[in-house]
Amino acid sequence: MGSRKRESALARKIANQDVAKALHNDCPSSPRKMRLVADIIRGVEVDKALAILKFSKKDASNKLEKVLLSAMANWQSKNEGADIEEAGLIVKEIHVDSARQLKRLRPAPQGRGYRIRKRSNHITLILGTKDNK
């Protein structure tokens, strides 16, 4: 490994020390519906985001709440002995990308078939501190 590559890898490792990441792949919901909820909690403090997700009527909020709790647990395991409330964690990044689609045919009049696309998505959530935006 070259010295520049090693230095950049070390810089990335130091930058990722105070962030926590959680992924949820192939979530059975359309990305469009999930992005509606994800946009609400982007950049919000963790405890406030949990309250927003808990009292939201959308079905996507339940799945995002589990991903957020997983990211909090990942941060807790990375920083043992530290308190989440004192750390001032925020939802630094949240990405909702489209995943595979299950394509089905629905019978239609006159021998045709309408295509049904059952969409799914990938959720990536990254927590960071307020001062390290």
CATH number at residue 76: 3.90.470.10
- Contact between residue 49 and residue 61 where contact means Cβ atoms under 8 Å apart: no
The model's pTM: 0.86
Alpha carbon distance 30, 99 (integer Å):
9
| pLDDT (tens digit per residue) in 23-62 | 999 999 999 999 999 999 999 999 999 999 999 999 999 9
In a domain, 121, yes or no: yes
Alpha carbon distance 72, 90 (integer Å):
10
- Tell me the average pLDDT of the chain: 93
pLDDT band at 12 (very low <50, low <70, confident <90, very high): confident
Q: Domain range holding 97? A: 30-132
Which range, 11-15, 77-81, 99-103, is most confident? 99-103
In a domain, 114, yes or no: yes
Distant-in-sequence, close-in-space partners of 130: CB < 8 Å, separation ≥ 6: 45, 88, 90
Whether residue 132 is predicted with pLDDT greater than 90 in this model: the reply is no
In angstroms, the first-to-last Cα distance of the chain is: 30
Whether residue 133 is predicted with pLDDT greater than 70 in this model: the reply is no
| pLDDT (tens digit per residue) in 84-106 | 888 889 999 999 999 999 999 99
